[in-house]
Structure 1
């Protein structure tokens, strides 16, 4: 059986591997990193490849898998950064929103504030109707009108 030259085979396929990596990443540096990582893994596990002929197909599989792994990591990192940013924005906005909306509610007439208070307590339309001595349909109608009024006064929150 003749000696198998893994280094020679890898050198021969480098341009094809690099083109494939560029087609996946659309970035020269990322493609170079991926091909370098794949070459390192192949050479590190040399004993698994020298026992049989090296196949170019396995390089494409390794490149694709490395690309997918990097994309998942970057997506997870992006999602974590986005979530952290959103939490910071939400924490800063919560107090402003709370004060603004509380002030808006305080400007409403007393029956409307009572209705909103009962809603906040989690009462059903039927329960609110019993408490305020109204029909359930009247409660629904008034709540609808309150929501409409709030939406008109806070259009930036209901786009």
Structure 2
């Protein structure tokens, strides 16, 4: 379909297609915007229109898909642009007196698990925990950086396993 044919077909079907856009949006201004966007898309892809098929149905499909895409976009945008004040309930502390007992017990449990690690895993893990970089830890221990990375990974795995086992035992 050429641009001239597209323009002629769109002019002939404009009132029906605009009515369809108005029915979807239920607002005159939004219907005009929707019709304009759909006409632009239709013009851009007019070479994909198969001659001999129903032009109005093809354009109605474009209008409907454009409307659906706008609705999805607006819904995502509405969720992402909520003011931070709408979420203050989530960060407010509802306890009058903070209770840190459970977190203190968990921290003590982690340190006990750390004490059970052998020295070659515990030292690099604690140094990394205190902010030392891999190269500093490697230099202090006199081993390559790759060895330090491997030991840290192993230490993490061992700690994770130990904590999971203790959690499984305590939940019984």
- Name the TM-score class by shorter chain: 0.5 to 0.7
TM value normalised by structure 1: 0.52
Does 2:8 align with 1:8?
A: yes
> Secondary structure of 1:102's match?
coil
**Correspondence for 1:55:** 55
Q: Which runs of 5+ in 2 are unaligned?
A: 107-172
> Secondary structure of 1:82's match?
coil
**Correspondence for 2:97:** 102
> Separation in 2 of the partners of 1:47 and 1:66?
19
> Separation in 2 of the partners of 1:84 and 1:27?
30
Deviation of 1:45 after TM superposition, in Å, equals 2.1
Deviation of 1:69 after TM superposition, in Å, equals 0.4
> Separation in 2 of the partners of 1:10 and 1:17?
9
Does 2:41 align with 1:41?
A: yes
**Correspondence for 1:150:** none
Tell me which stretches of 4 or more aligned residues in structure 1 moved more than 4 Å. Answer: none
Deviation of 1:11 after TM superposition, in Å, equals 0.5
> Separation in 2 of the partners of 1:79 and 1:41?
27
**Correspondence for 1:31:** 31
Structure-to-structure mapping, 1:1-150, within 5 angstroms: 5-49=5-49, 52-53=51-52, 55-82=55-82, 84-91=84-91, 93-94=92-93, 97-98=94-95, 101-102=96-97
Matched residues, number? 102
Q: 2:34 touches 2:66 (CA, 8 Å); kept in 1?
A: yes
Deviation of 1:84 after TM superposition, in Å, equals 4.2
Q: 2:42 touches 2:62 (CA, 8 Å); kept in 1?
A: no
Q: 2:34 touches 2:67 (CA, 8 Å); kept in 1?
A: yes
**Correspondence for 1:112:** none
- Going from structure 1 to structure 2, the CA distance change for 1:62 and 1:89 (only over 3 Å counts) comes to same
Q: Which runs of 5+ in 1 are unaligned?
A: 106-116, 123-159
